[in-house]
Every structure is written in C-alpha cells, then in structure tokens.
Amino acid sequence: MSSIPERNEIETEYTWDLSGIYTDAAEWESAYESVQDQLTDLKEYEGHVTESPSTLLELLEQREEIFRTLATVSTYANLRSAEDTRDQESQARQSKAESLSSRARSAISFIEPELQELDSEEISSFCEREPALKQYEHFFDDVLRAKPHTRSSEVESVLADLGEIASSPSDIYGMLSNADMTFPTVDHPDPGEDTIEITLGNFTKLQKHPDRAFRQTVYEQFYDEWKDVRNTVGTALQNSVKKDVKYARARRYESARAASLDGPNVPVTVYDTLCETVRDNLEHLHRHARLKQAALNLNELRPWDLYISLTGDESPKIPYDRATTYITDAVAPLGSEYQQRVADGLESRWVDVYENRGKRSGAFSSGAYDTQPFILMNYQDDISSMFTLAHELGHSMHSELAKNAQPWQYADYTIFVAEVASTVNETLLTNHLLETLEDDTLRLHILDEYLERVRSTLYRQTMFAEFESTIHEIIEEGGALTPDRFDEIYCDLKETYYEPAVLDDRIAREWMRIPHFYYSFYVYQYATGISAAIAIVDQIDTDGEDAAEDYRSALELGGSAYPIDILQTAGVDMTDAAPIESALTGYADYLDQMEALVK
C-alpha cells in the first residue's frame, strides 16, 4: 500500500530546524514560566497608564518584553504541534501556550481603555514630553480609532479571558479533520501499482488524475467520509459563527463582518466591491468550465472534473529541489538582496517539506520577531505544490523585510497585505516559467496552473466570502444553522459560480473541508490579494526597479500604517474596483491563450 510515512522516516534535510528557537522542551518550559511570572508585574500599571509620559513608555516597553517572548513560546508550540497532531505532549504544550496567550491579553486589557481617556492632542503632548513615545504614534492612532468599540477595563478583561474558549470550534474542527478522521484507501488505476490512501493533503492532487473513473471514486469516497461527521462539523461551524456575532455585539458593531474588517481598518465597501465585481464577471469562469469540458471531450462536466488540467494529464513531476531553483530564479525582478535571502532561507531549513502521518494538512508560513521564518508544506512533487511553496515564501520574505525595517510593535502585518506578498511570488513564477521554459507540455501545464489559481483564488474565495456573509447574517437575524442549511446555502452558490457543471449532492458538503471558515472573514483577502498582486507585477514589468522598490518599501512598512495606505505605497488602490477588473481581464486574456493552444 502507498502509505504516508511516519515523521522519523523523513530525511532531516527536508524538515524544518526548530533548534534555533529552543533546544529542548525544558528550555521552552523555562521561557513559558518567565512570561507567566512577568504577567503579574503588569497589574502595577493598572489605573496609572496615563499618569505620565515616562510611566506610559515604561509600560509599553514592559509589554514588548513579555509579548516578544510569548510570541516565540507560542510559535514553537504551534510548530511542534503541527508536526504530528497525534502527539499528546505537543498538543498539551500548544494548549498551555494558548492559555498563556489568553491570560496575557487579559493582563494588558486595561491599556487601551485608559489610553482612550486621552484625546489626540493630549497624546501629542505626551510624545513631545517623551520623544521615545513618538515611535508609537500609529499605535496610538489605532487605539483612539477603536474608541467607540472598546469597553471598560473590566469588560475588556473578560473578553480577553474568553479568547481561549472562543477558539474551541476551530480547535475541535482541527483535531477532528487532522487527527481523528481517516479516509479510505483506493485502488490505483494503473495495474500493478500500490493502493493509495486518501488524505486531506493529497485529495486535490488525486482529483487531477487523468483517469476519470478514479477521480470519481476518490471524490465520492472522500465526501462520503465527511457525511459521517456532518453533525459535529456543523455544530462547530455554527458555534464559530455565533462567537463572531456575540463578540461583534459586545463591541457595539452592526455586524460581525464590520467588526472583522474594522480591525485592520478596511472599509466594508472593499468586501462588497469584490463580491459585486466578481459576480458581474462570472462569464469568464463559465467560459473556463466550458473550455475544460470541450478540451476533455466530456458530455458533462462533473465535480470530479473541476481540478483536472485542460491537458487531460497529471502535472509533470516537479521535484522539490527543482522547484526551489525555479522559484529563486523567478523572484529576480524583486532585487538581488531579496533573491539571495530566498535562496539562503531554502538552504537553512526554513521549510518542512513532505507529508507525514498526523502532520497538519495544507501549508502555512510562521515565525516570530526573534526567530527565522518557518514554512509547513505537504509537498506532492507537482506544479501545484511548487506554486504553494512560492506563495508561502512570499509570506516569509514579507516577515523578514518587515521585522528588519520596523520595531517590534510594527513588525507584524495584516492578512489583507500578507496575501498580496504571497501572490506576487506566484505571479512572478508564472511569468518566469512561461518566458523561459522550452518544454511545450510543461508550459501548457504552467498556464493551466495559473488559470486554476486565479479560478480558485479570485473566484472560489469570493464564493467562500459570499457563503461567510450569508451564514453570519442568518445568525444575526435570529435564524439557525444546521448541516442541511449549510448544504443548501453552499450548493446554491456552487451552482451559480459553476453553472456549466452538473453537480451532485456530495459537493454540497464541500464547506465541511474548508478550515478558513473558522477564521472570521478571512478568505476575501485571498481574492483582494491576488488582484493587488497582479497589478503590482504588471507595474514591475513596466517600470522595472522603480516599481520593485516601491513594492519592497510597502512590505517593509509591516504594520506601521493601515493596509489600504500600504498598498497605495505600492501603487494599488483597493478601495476601487479597477485592480479586480484588471485581474479578471488578465484571466480572460490567458483563457484566450489556452484556448488557442488547446485547439
């Protein structure tokens, strides 16, 4: 049987190196206890935050010391947990870190309400009297902006304490899908080959296999497995939505969506403009579906055909080491320093490359201010995995540039900007490979992959965004969410977006396998991100180093400005529909190229 290896069977060079964070569990425990001990010191400042500029500075510096260590403690715990979700010691460590984070947020919950007792002129006076406070000016502006939605110190403390419990729906879903669920083993379509175990990590790859009957078998058995846990997943998602709504009401927002977007100061109109613009351009997605049906000579396009390449073949093999070369070469337009840092990171084990049993599914980039970046992959030796690696390296390089340019309090950045950095790398990789590859078959697959990424990132994530809005509105209006209701809402959207396809009842369960629905109003940022990224790459193609410098400068801003303003530094205005329309036009142009090649 083609089984998933245990972690100790993976070669060390293809695993990340966490020894640079803590050498062992004992060292982690010592850092954990140091944070725990320091939290009590913060209580001395309660009621005295604005007593004097020097007191405020002292408090903010104490906060930094504690939370810098806490970030490292949490990062290590999360990465160890992701290596093998079955490892009880690692899960216990992560649980302790989450609990400590919740207590830490509670311990500083008095800071913002007390700061909001001052007005902007009084804050300015503090900064004049204590010049070291000037580095916090954006932080102060953000705090005062949130004043209408900040509660008393007592209420803020309670809300912070509830943070650990509030993550329960996501935690339960993660343990169910990554640790407890097992999927069937299916016969390989080729005679003499081993059987294949379906996993969350390889499902999409198996849906790209050229044997249609095999794809259908994988699809049906995968979604039949989800049917058996629909009540658990439905309850988890319903409670996640309720949590979002209750937190929004506690902070006096008109909706959970408004609360979520106000965090990074993104206007709600950005969300609406995205959904409306994509809805108005569904004909491009429908054309893509019809082109796939024609290219594959199918009487009907079914759900198990949606991922297959227009070539009708599986992705050519792209070994990990070759992928890293392609990616390093592709980012050259971003400057030699950027390119060299990517190469160095890949050489110094930033990446945990291959799937192992119990490993968290999907991919992510992580790290803290005082660590190097770390990337989790479940690399499948295909084009899709290569693009995912480029995507995560975009996040990692964003972190590197931001923390090298900014003090601790501004090194982090919002997801709204983060998803631009990741997709710029994907777009550069596409352009590089289409310009340099001589293998026509590989070029055809690269073009197909890019079309699929626009489909899945711009269209599919916008469909997800509509789903999120709808299910939150139901709870906000006093309605109820059941597994059947989730199915109905999701299936209606799927039928609208994928109109040319003939869908079945199983596709209605697709919402069950999307972990991002537990991250309140997260997914729309993939769609805005790819739109902004395509615009930025177009500018770099036109203006060269000047545009690349503007883009790097935007990344270096980290969280020192609001995301809409940061993207304007890179030459993109996401309050307007123009970047989205431009990305959709580019998608249509690539469809023209693909149609000509297929014919």
Tell me how crowded residue 385 is: count the other CB atoms within 10 A of its CB: 22
For range 28-54, the mean pLDDT? 95
- Is 318's pLDDT higher than 90? yes
Mean pLDDT across the chain, nearest whole number? 94
Higher per-residue confidence, 48 vs 205: 48
Report the phi/psi class of residue 374: left, alpha or beta, with left for phi > 0 and alpha for psi in -120 to 50: beta
- Among 28-37, 186-195, 332-341, 389-398, name the one with the lowest average pLDDT: 186-195
What tens digit of pLDDT does each residue of 184-226 get? 999 988 887 889 999 988 899 899 999 999 999 999 999 999 9
Q: What percent of the chain has pLDDT over 70?
A: 100
For range 348-377, the mean pLDDT? 95
Query: 120 falls in which pLDDT band (50, 70, 90)?
Result: very high
- Among 41-50, 87-96, 537-546, 588-597, name the one with the lowest average pLDDT: 588-597
Higher per-residue confidence, 441 vs 472: 472
- pLDDT score for 2: 52
What tens digit of pLDDT does each residue of 278-299 get? 999 999 999 999 999 999 999 9
332 forms beta bridges with none
Residue 123 makes CB contacts below 8 A (sequence gap 6+) with 115, 137, 140, 144
Tell me how crowded residue 328 is: count the other CB atoms within 10 A of its CB: 18
Q: Which fold has domain 7-166?
A: Butyryl-CoA Dehydrogenase, subunit A; domain 3 (1.20.140)
For range 376-395, the mean pLDDT? 95
- pLDDT score for 595: 87
Query: What are the catalytic residues?
Result: 392
How large is the angle between the packed helices 545-556 and 383-405, nearest 10 degrees?
Answer: 70
- Among 251-255, 496-500, 595-599, name the one with the lowest average pLDDT: 595-599
Eight-state DSSP code of residue 134? G
For range 343-361, the mean pLDDT? 95
Domains of the chain: which residue ranges? 7-166
What tens digit of pLDDT does each residue of 407-455 get? 999 999 999 999 999 999 999 999 999 999 998 889 889 999 899 989 9
For range 371-376, the mean pLDDT? 98
- Is 537's pLDDT higher than 60? yes
> Pairing between strand 374-376 and 364-366?
antiparallel
Tell me how crowded residue 195 is: count the other CB atoms within 10 A of its CB: 12
Give the separation between CA 448 and CA 594, rounded to whole angstroms.
7
Give the separation between CA 523 and CA 519, rounded to whole angstroms.
8
User: Under a CB-based contact definition with an 8 Å cutoff, are residues 483 and 271 in contact?
Assistant: no
Write the burial class of residue 223 (CB in 10 Å: 0-12 exposed, 13-18 middle, 19+ buried): buried
- pLDDT score for 292: 93
For range 398-407, the mean pLDDT? 98
DSSP calls for 171-196 = HHHHHIIIII----EE--SSTTPPPE
Give the separation between CA 599 and CA 310, rounded to whole angstroms.
11
Higher per-residue confidence, 194 vs 245: 245
Handedness of CA 303, 309, 312, 317 (dihedral sign): negative
Query: 1 falls in which pLDDT band (50, 70, 90)?
Result: very low
